[in-house]
C-alpha cells in the first residue's frame, strides 16, 4: 500500500496524456530523472515541498519536449520519446552522481487520528504517509474529471477524434500540450515519491529501472481508465511485495531472480488483455458450445484494452 | 541525376551534422558546468579515452562491433516500419545460446569449431527471440513495443537465473558472471601495427554491408521497404506482409544475437555471461539508426562515433569523478537535436521535404 504512490501517480499522469492522444515513451528515464531531481532539490533546500515541486517541473519540462517534438515539429512520438528516455536516464545518472548514497529529507508517516483505529481497514488505509492518501484522492479526482465533467469529455475527445473536437472549436494542439504537461508533472510527482518516500535517496543504479516501461504497460492494461490503471498499479506493487516475501520463504532459489519477476509477469498480464481478442484466440474458442463461447468472449472483451483512436497520430488542422 | 542537387544535399547534411555536434557539445558543456566540471577537460578525457593509446582504440573497435551488428539488424526492422524495442532481449538470447553451446562443448573439440557453432547458436537464439516478438505482433496483435519489452524483461530474468543457478561459478555464485571461457575460445585479433584490431569488427562491418546490400538489391529488401511504406498497399499488391515482418524481426534478432555472441567471446570482452550483458547496445543502436535513417554509411560512421564517445567516457569516473553516463547524454542529445532540427526544417522551409 505504501509503495504504490509512485507507480500510481506515474500511471495517472501517463493515462491523462495518452487519453489526450500523446504517448510519452520517455517514462523510464523520466521517472529516474524526476526522482533524482526531487531528491536533489529537497536536499538542497531542506524542504520536501521544493523537492516535489522541482520533480513536477522536470516532469512537465520533459512533457513539453515530447509535445513540442510531436505536435509542433511533427516528428514521430515514439522516436522523440525513446530518445528523450535515453537522455533523461543518463542525465539522472550524471547529475545525481554527487548525491548518491547520501541521506536526505523523507516524507513523514502521518496516520489519520481517529480513522486508523477501525478494525481491519484502519491500519491498512489510514496508517500511511500523506502520499498514499494523495494517491487515492488523485485517482478518484482524475476519474471524476475524465468521466464526469465537460472538460474531461473534451479530453477524451482529443484522443479519440481530434477532428471532431476541432470542429467544435477546441484548440486541439494547445489542449494536447496542456495535458501532456499535466501528465508529465504527475509522473514527476511519482518520481519524487520514490526518492522522498518509498526508496529514499539516490544511487546508481537506482533500482527502479524498468518501472517506467511498466507504467506504460499499465496504462494499456488499464484500458486508459484511471480506475483500472490504478488497479494495475496496485497489482504490480503487490507482485513486487510477493517477490520479496517469496524470496525469504524459498532461500534455496537464487537471489535476485524474484525481484526481476514482477516485470515479465506484468507484461504477460498485459499480453493476456491484448491477446484475448485476436484471431487465433477467437478460432480456438470456436469448438466450444455456443453459450460458453458467448460468455468467454464477453469476458475477454471486457478485459480488452482499446487505445484512444488518435493516440500517437499527429493532428493537422486544415 | 542532378549532381548539383545531390552535392547540395550532401553539403546540407554535413552542415546539419556539424550544427548538431556543436549544439550537442554546448548542451553537454552546460550540464557539466552545473556540476562544476570543466567541459573542455571532460571532452579532452573522452578523446584521450578513445584514441589516446592503441589499446584504447582496440576498445573502441570492440564497442563498435555490437553497435554495428545491432544497427544492421535495425535497418531491417525500420525498413519494415516497425520498432524493435525487443532488441536488447535478442542480444541477451544470443549471448545465452552462445554460452550454452560453449559450455556443452567437449573440452577436446577444436576451438574454431566451437566458436563457429557458438556464433550460429547465437544467431539462432537471437533470431528465435526476435521471431517471438514478430509473432506476437503479427498473430497476437500485440504492439511490438510492449511485446519487445516483455521479452526483454524475460530475457533479463532468465540471465539472472542462469548466472546464479545452473551456470553459476563453482564455489561462489555471484552476479559477476559465469566462469570465463578459456582463451582458446576467444575471437582472434589482427595486428596492424600499432593497432590491434579485434576480429569481430570485421564481422560487424560485413554485417552492415550485407544488410545494406540486401535492402537495396534484393527482392527481400524491396518487400520490406514496401511493408514499411504501407503494409496495406503491400498486401494488396501481393507482398506476403506477415512473413516479411516475421523475417525482419528474425533477421534483426539474429544479428542482435551475433552481437551477444561477440559480447561474450570477443577478443576484449569479459568472456563470460553476466546480467545486463546487452549493456544498452541495442538501444544505442536504435539511436544510431534514428540518426542515420536508411543510410548504411552514415550508420557506420555514427556508430563509430558513438563507440568512441562511450568508450572515452569510461575515463570520466576515474579522472573527474563524473558518471560515465555523460556519453549517453551526448549521444542522446545529438539524436534528439537532430530529430527536432528535422522538424524545424520541415516546418520552416516552405513546401517542406
For residue A114, pLDDT beyond 70 = no
- With respect to residue A248, please indicate whether it lies within any of the assigned structural domains: no
Q: Say which of B146, B321, B323 has its CB closest to residue A267.
A: B146
A contact test, residue of B93, B142, B152 with most A CBs within 10 A: B142
Question: Is residue A185 included in any domain, yes or no?
Answer: yes
pLDDT tens digits along A63-83 = 999 999 888 888 888 999 999
Residue B314 lies in a domain: yes
How far apart are the CA of B139 and the nearest CA of chain A, in angstroms? 7
Domain count, chain B: 1
Specify the number of domains making up chain A: 1
What confidence tens digit (pLDDT) does each residue in A264-273 have? 887 777 777 7
pLDDT of residue A116: 54
Task: Answer whether residue B66 is part of any domain.
Answer: yes
Query: CA torsion angle for B282, B308, B184, B209 (degrees, to 10)?
Result: 60
Q: Name the band, by pLDDT with cuts 50, 70 and 90, for residue A254.
A: low
Instruction: Work out the minimum CA distance from B18 to partner chain A, whole angstroms.
Output: 19
Closest by Cβ to A83, choosing from B290, B344, B346: B290
B78: three-class secondary structure by DSSP: helix
B195 CA: distance to closest CA in chain A (Å)? 31
Q: Does A98 touch chain B (CB under 8 A)?
A: yes
For residues A115-136, give the mean pLDDT. 66
Low-confidence residues of chain B: pLDDT under 70: 1-3, 172-175, 194, 350-353
pLDDT (average), residues A157-165: 84
Q: Given CB atoms, is A89 within the 8 Å cutoff of chain B?
A: yes
Computed over every residue of chain A, the mean pLDDT equals 82
Range in A97-101, A259-263, B43-47, B300-304 with the lowest mean pLDDT:
A259-263
Taking residue B170's Cβ as centre, other Cβ atoms within 10 Å add up to 6
Residue A277 lies in a domain: no
Cα B191 to Cα A121, A284, B62, B79, B262: the distances in Å are 72, 59, 14, 36, 19
Tell me how many degrees the CA angle B253-B258-B264 measures, rounded to the nearest 5.
Answer: 125
φ, ψ of residue B216 to 5 degrees: the values are -85, -35
Q: Is residue A272 part of a domain?
A: no
Give me the interface pTM, i.e. the ipTM: 0.89
Cell numbers for B298: 552514415
Range of the domain at A91: 4-226
User: What per-residue confidence (pLDDT) applies to A240?
Assistant: 86
C-alpha torsion A109→A113→A119→A123, nearest 10: 0
Give the DSSP per-residue string, B189-244: EEEETTEEEEHHHHHHHHHHHHHHHHHHHSHHHHHHHHHHH-HHHHHHTT--HHHH
What pLDDT is recorded for position B132? 92
**CB–CB of A280 and B140 under 8 A?**
yes
So what's the pLDDT on residue A182?
Answer: 93
Contact A264 B150 (CB under 8 A): yes
Q: B70 lies in a domain?
A: yes
Chain-chain contact of A279 with B328 (C-beta, under 8 angstroms):
no
Cα of B50 vs its chain's centroid, Å: 18
For residue A209, the distance in angstroms to the closest alpha carbon of chain B comes to: 11
Does residue A77 fall inside a structural domain?
Answer: yes
* Amino acid A232: pLDDT: 87
Dist CA B137 CA B302 (whole Å): 30
Mean pLDDT over residues A32-50, rounded?
89
The whole-number pLDDT of residue B353 equals: 43
What is the dihedral angle through the alpha carbons of A121, A124, A126, A131, rounded to the nearest 10 degrees?
-140
* Residue A84 confidence (pLDDT) above 90: yes
Tell me the nearest-neighbour CA distance from A204 into chain B, angstroms: 9
- pLDDT of A50 > 60? The answer is yes
- Asked if residues B81 and B101 have their Cβ atoms less than 8 Å apart, the reply is no
Is B164 in contact with A204 (Cβ distance < 8 A)?
no
Q: Return the pLDDT at B352.
A: 43
Whether A78 and chain B come into contact, CB under 8 Å, resolves to yes
pLDDT value for A268: 79
CATH number at residue B111: 1.10.3470
End-to-end CA, chain A: 48
A 229-258 → B contacts, CB under 8 A = 254-257
The answer to whether position B20 is within a domain reads no
Helix locations, A97-171, DSSP H: 121-126, 130-148, 150-160, 162-167
Predicted confidence at residue B248, as pLDDT, reads 93
Q: Is B13 within the bounds of a domain?
A: no
Q: What is the per-residue pLDDT for A1?
A: 67
List Cα–Cα distances, B9 to B15, B21, B215, B290, B353, in angstroms. 10, 18, 22, 19, 12
Closest CA to B325 of B282, B271, B279: B279
Judged against a pLDDT cut of 70, whether residue A201 lies above it is answered with yes
> What count of CB pairs under 8 Å joins A to B?
154
Q: Find out whether B141 and A274 touch, Cβ atoms under 8 Å.
A: yes
Lowest mean pLDDT among A7-21, A70-84, A256-270: A256-270
A205 touches chain B (CB under 8 A): no
Considering CB atoms only, which of A210, A254, A267 is closest to B173?
A: A254
Distance (Å) from the alpha carbon of A164 to chain B's nearest alpha carbon: 25
Rounded CA-CA distance A187/A80 in Å is 17
Residue A72 near residue A173 (C-beta atoms within 8 A)? yes
Instruction: Report yes or no on B102 lying in a domain.
Output: yes
Query: Which domain covers residue B289, as residue numbers?
Result: 39-348
**B259 falls within a domain:** yes
Are A8 and A230 a contacting pair, CB within 8 Å? yes
- Partners of B197 in the β-ladder: B190
Task: At B207, list the grid cell.
Answer: 554485417
Amino acid at each position: 500500500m505504501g509503495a504504490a504512490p509512485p507507480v500510481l501517480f506515474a500511471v495517472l499522469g501517463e493515462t491523462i496524456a495518452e487519453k489526450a492522444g500523446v504517448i510519452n515513451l520517455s517514462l523510464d528515464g523520466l521517472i529516474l530523472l524526476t526522482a533524482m531531481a526531487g531528491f536533489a532539490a529537497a536536499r538542497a533546500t531542506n524542504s520536501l515541498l521544493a523537492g516535489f515541486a522541482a520533480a513536477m517541473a522536470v516532469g512537465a519540462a520533459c512533457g513539453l519536449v515530447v509535445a513540442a517534438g510531436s505536435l509542433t515539429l511533427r516528428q514521430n512520438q515514439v522516436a522523440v520519446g525513446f530518445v528523450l528516455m535515453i537522455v533523461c536516464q543518463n542525465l539522472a545518472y550524471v547529475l545525481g552522481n554527487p548525491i548518491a548514497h547520501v541521506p536526505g529529507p523523507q516524507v513523514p508517516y502521518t496516520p489519520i487520528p481517529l480513522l486508523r483505529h477501525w478494525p481491519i481497514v484502519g491500519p491498512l488505509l489510514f496508517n500511511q504517509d500523506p502520499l498514499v492518501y494523495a494517491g487515492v484522492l488523485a485517482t478518484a479526482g482524475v476519474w471524476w474529471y475524465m468521466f464526469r465533467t465537460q472538460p474531461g469529455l473534451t479530453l477524451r475527445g482529443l484522443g479519440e477524434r481530434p477532428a471532431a473536437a476541432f470542429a467544435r472549436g477546441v484548440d486541439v494542439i494547445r489542449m494536447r500540450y496542456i495535458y501532456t504537461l499535466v501528465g508529465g508533472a504527475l509522473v514527476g510527482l511519482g518520481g519524487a515519491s520514490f526518492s522522498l518516500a518509498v526508496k529514499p535517496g539516490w544511487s546508481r543504479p537506482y533500482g527502479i529501472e524498468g518501472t517506467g516501461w511498466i507504467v506504460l504497460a499499465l496504462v494499456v492494461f488499464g484500458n486508459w481508465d484511471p480506475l483500472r490503471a490504478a488497479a494495475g498499479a496496485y497489482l504490480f506493487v503487490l507482485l513486487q511485495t510477493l517477490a520479496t516475501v517469496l524470496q525469504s520463504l524459498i532461500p534455496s532459489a537464487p537471489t535476485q531472480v524474484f525481484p526481476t519477476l514482477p516485470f515479465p509477469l506484468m507484461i504477460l498480464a498485459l499480453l493476456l488483455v491484448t491477446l484475448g481478442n485476436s484471431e487465433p484466440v477467437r478460432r480456438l474458442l470456436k469448438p466450444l458450445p455456443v453459450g460458453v463461447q458467448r460468455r468467454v468472449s464477453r469476458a475477454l472483451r471486457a478485459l480488452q484494452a482499446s487505445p484512444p483512436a488518435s493516440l500517437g497520430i499527429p493532428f493537422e488542422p486544415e | 541525376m542532378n549532381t548539383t542537387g545531390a552535392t547540395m544535399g550532401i553539403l546540407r547534411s554535413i552542415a546539419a551534422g556539424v550544427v548538431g555536434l556543436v549544439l550537442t557539445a554546448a548542451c553537454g558543456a552546460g550540464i557539466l558546468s552545473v556540476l562544476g566540471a570543466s567541459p573542455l577537460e571532460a571532452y579532452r578525457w573522452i578523446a584521450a579515452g578513445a584514441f589516446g593509446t592503441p589499446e584504447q582504440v582496440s576498445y573502441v573497435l570492440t564497442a563498435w562491433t555490437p553497435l554495428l551488428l545491432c544497427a544492421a539488424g535495425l535497418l531491417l526492422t525500420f525498413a519494415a516500419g516497425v520498432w524493435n524495442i525487443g532488441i536488447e532481449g535478442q542480444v541477451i538470447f544470443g549471448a545465452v545460446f552462445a554460452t550454452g553451446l560453449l559450455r556443452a562443448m567437449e573440452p577436446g573439440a577444436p576451438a574454431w569449431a566451437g566458436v563457429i557453432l557458438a556464433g550460429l547458436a547465437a544467431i539462432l537464439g537471437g533470431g528465435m527471440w526476435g521471431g517471438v516478438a514478430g509473432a506476437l505482433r503479427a498473430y497476437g496483435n500485440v504492439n511490438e513495443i510492449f511485446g519487445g519489452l516483455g521479452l526483454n524483461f524475460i530475457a533479463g530474468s532468465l540471465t539472472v537465473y542462469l548466472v546464479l543457478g545452473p551456470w553459476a561459478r563453482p564455489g561462489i555464485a555471484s552476479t559477476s558472471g559465469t566462469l570465463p571461457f578459456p582463451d582458446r575460445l576467444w575471437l582472434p585479433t589482427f595486428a596492424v601495427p600499432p593497432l590491434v584490431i579485434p576480429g569481430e569488427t570485421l564481422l560487424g562491418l560485413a554485417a552492415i554491408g550485407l544488410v545494406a546490400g540486401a535492402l537495396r538489391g534484393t527482392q527481400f529488401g524491396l518487400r520490406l521497404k514496401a511493408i514499411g511504406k504501407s503494409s496495406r498497399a503491400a498486401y494488396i499488391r501481393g507482398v506476403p506482409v506477415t512473413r516479411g515482418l516475421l523475417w525482419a524481426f528474425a533477421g534483426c534478432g539474429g544479428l542482435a544475437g551475433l552481437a551477444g555472441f561477440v559480447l561474450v567471446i570477443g577478443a576484449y570482452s569479459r568472456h563470460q555471461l553476466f546480467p545486463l550483458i546487452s549493456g544498452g547496445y541495442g538501444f544505442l543502436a536504435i539511436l544510431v539508426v534514428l540518426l542515420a535513417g536508411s543510410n548504411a554509411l552514415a550508420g557506420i560512421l555514427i556508430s563509430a562515433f558513438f563507440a568512441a564517445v562511450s568508450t572515452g567516457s569510461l575515463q570520466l569516473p576515474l579522472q573527474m569523478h563524473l558518471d560515465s553516463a555523460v556519453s549517453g547524454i551526448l549521444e542522446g542529445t545529438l539524436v534528439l537535436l537532430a530529430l527536432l532540427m528535422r522538424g524545424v526544417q520541415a516546418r520552416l522551409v516552405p513546401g517542406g521535404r
